[in-house]
Amino acid sequence: MNGPPEPFKIKMIEHVGMPDQIRRSEAIREAGYNTFLLRSEDVYIDLLTDSGTSAMSDYQWSGLLLGDEAYAGARNFYNLEKAIQDVLGYKYIVPTHQGRGAEHLMYSYLVKSGQLVPRNMYFTTSKLHVELPGGKMVDVIIDEAHDPENLHLFKGNIDFKKLQAFIDEYGVEKIAFVNVEMDVNMAGGQPVSMQNLRDLREFCNDYNLKIIYDATRSSENAYFIRERERGYENTPIIDILREMMSYSDGCIYSSKKDCLVNIGGFLATSDKDIFEHCRNMVVVYEGLHTYGGMAGRDMEAVARGLKESTSYEYLKYRINQVRYLGDLLMKAGVPIVKPTGGHGVFINALKFLPHLERKQWPAQTLAAAIYEDSGVRSMERGAVSKGRDKETGENIFPALELVRLTIPRRVYTNTHMEYTAESVIRLYEKRDSIRGLKMVYEPEYLRFFQSRFEVLESSKSYLET
């Protein structure tokens, strides 16, 4: 068997279409070779993101009917508050419409112009919300994270030498806070170890520095701690989560991932100052502090989903399904980020398409090619996502130029994984025929969402036949 069987059965299905080859070629051209600009109805298997794409349980759906849509003080807010207190252990919460709403409130309060925010690799929206108040995100992840072949089990760990170097060079007052992402997205869904979190707390105590987590995928990180870190083999996931959070001063959280819902976010903290400020500002940007942009029913679904995300059986199934896809690709020699991460399989586009220059956007090209081949939608996670240097305006070309096959939670079967793998392997076998792209439109912020491309050479398709 390819991992444990699903700890659920299917009660409702959604029909999906399969556009033919002619429509797929047309659709990706119309989308400017950007998979974000495809219409969902043109997609067969949607591995664009694990964000907001989960299948909710009957327990969550039934909670929607219990939505209290009062403007103020809905009972679902108190259920959400209690769920976060129970699962994560923080005292105060502020709901937001999704993760970036929480980033906006938290980071605009903590970052002063000219300050640095060291983090274990950047995330797109997080970096932007540090930059908007005049800050700069700097990378302090261990070197192993930048090497797709390296098999380190906790590639999300902070490198204390890098952190110390920033403190020594700029002075501790220049550091706004230390930001730690769980199950680091841009590194391939790679976890942080409990030991690293514990050590970071001690380190930051010496400098009186705050630690804020991006806890978006913390349940999946907790599963890896249980699976890989000595001493946690039999620890309930909820206890691991509470210990992880106890080493921080607060977190932002996009509920659209581990909480198994379609919309929502929050920030949580036990720090009264952070809480009071964010609770005040939420009414300016999101909505009253007892809904923060979410409907009562959505808060109920988050509360229930957060609890469900602590099930060991569920997480074991989830992580193993992702691993199954990774194993299929590795067996065929397709270069991917190793070890396979928590929420998706990340293809190393630099190794897949070595004949393309960085300026020909290999990951963007490969994501478009996969769609055209099979109707599977993936996402670029490389230089287009990274954007330009704020000071010089030049493109930044990160070591990782990846295509993310992101697996929505509880949505697809292993046969869907096999179909996906077959497409990627087919392309790998004819990789030399794949032509690059040129960028023809670029918006100012978060360009990967809306930028447009054209095929570089005059072949009909960039998949030469």
Helix (H, G, I), strand (E, B) or coil at 82: helix
Residue 120 in contact with ligand PM9, rule: CB under 6 A:
no
Token pair 């990340």 is at which residue? 346
| Closest distance of CB 402 from ligand PM9, Å | 12
∠ CA 357-417-37, nearest 5°, is 50
| Closest distance of CB 119 from ligand PM9, Å | 10
Structure tokens at 232: 């946690």
Confirm if 184 and 122 have CB atoms less than 8 A apart: no
Query: Distance between the two ends of the chain, CA-based, in angstroms?
Result: 37
Catalytic-role residue among 256, 323, 381, 435: 381
The Cα–Cα gap between 435 and 56 comes to 40
Residue 99 in contact with ligand PM9, rule: CB under 6 A:
yes
Helix (H) or strand (E) holding 421: helix 414-429
Residue 386 in contact with ligand PM9, rule: CB under 6 A:
no
Chain residue at closest Cβ approach to ligand PM9: 99
Q: Which of 34, 35, 49, 60 binds ligand PM9 (CB under 6 A)?
A: 49
Closer residue to ligand PM9, CB minimum distance, 428 or 453: 453
Quick note: the x/- pattern for ligand PM9 over 413-432, rule CB under 6 A, is --------------------
Closer residue to ligand PM9, CB minimum distance, 324 or 346: 346
Residue 266 in contact with ligand PM9, rule: CB under 6 A:
no
Closer residue to ligand PM9, CB minimum distance, 102 or 336: 102
| Closest distance of CB 52 from ligand PM9, Å | 7
Catalytic-role residue among 119, 210, 217, 257: 257
User: How far are the Cα atoms of 144, 155, 336, 396, 398 from residue 151, in angstroms, in the given order?
Assistant: 8, 8, 12, 26, 19
To the query of whether residue 316 is one of the catalytic residues in this protein, the response is no
Antiparallel, parallel or unpaired: β 211-214 and 250-254: parallel
To the query of whether residue 381 is one of the catalytic residues in this protein, the response is yes
∠ CA 263-268-274, nearest 5°, is 125
Quick note: the x/- pattern for ligand PM9 over 196-225, rule CB under 6 A, is ------------------x-x---------
Residue 451 in contact with ligand PM9, rule: CB under 6 A:
no
Residue 254 in contact with ligand PM9, rule: CB under 6 A:
yes
Q: Which of 24, 100, 279, 416 binds ligand PM9 (CB under 6 A)?
A: 100
Antiparallel, parallel or unpaired: β 250-254 and 116-119: unpaired
To the query of whether residue 217 is one of the catalytic residues in this protein, the response is no
| Closest distance of CB 126 from ligand PM9, Å | 6
Residue 185 in contact with ligand PM9, rule: CB under 6 A:
yes
Q: Which of 129, 256, 297, 377 binds ligand PM9 (CB under 6 A)?
A: 256
To the query of whether residue 214 is one of the catalytic residues in this protein, the response is yes
Confirm if 141 and 156 have CB atoms less than 8 A apart: yes
Runs of H (alpha helix) within 247-393: 272-285, 296-308, 312-331, 349-352, 362-374, 383-386
To the query of whether residue 58 is one of the catalytic residues in this protein, the response is no
To the query of whether residue 71 is one of the catalytic residues in this protein, the response is yes
* Choices 123-131, 194-202, 353-361, 455-463 (CB under 6 A): range interacting with ligand PM9: 123-131
The Cα–Cα gap between 331 and 348 comes to 15
Residue 125 in contact with ligand PM9, rule: CB under 6 A:
yes
Q: Which of 124, 262, 269, 365 binds ligand PM9 (CB under 6 A)?
A: 124
Residue 76 CB partners (closer than 8 Å, separation 6+): 63, 66, 67, 68, 296, 297, 299, 300, 303
Q: Which of 273, 332, 326 is nearest to 109 (CA)?
A: 273
299: DSSP letter:
H
Closer residue to ligand PM9, CB minimum distance, 262 or 310: 262
| Closest distance of CB 53 from ligand PM9, Å | 9
| Closest distance of CB 378 from ligand PM9, Å | 11
Catalytic-role residue among 50, 214, 249, 258: 214
Residue by residue, DSSP assigns 318-342 as HHHHHHHHHHHHHHTT--B-SS--S
Q: Which of 311, 287, 267 is nearest to 80 (CA)?
A: 267
The Cα–Cα gap between 202 and 247 comes to 9
Size of the site for ligand PM9 (CB under 6 A): 16
Catalytic positions are 71, 123-124, 214, 257, 381, 448
Binding region for ligand PM9 (CB under 6 A) = 49, 51, 98-100, 123-126, 181, 185, 214, 216, 254, 256, 265
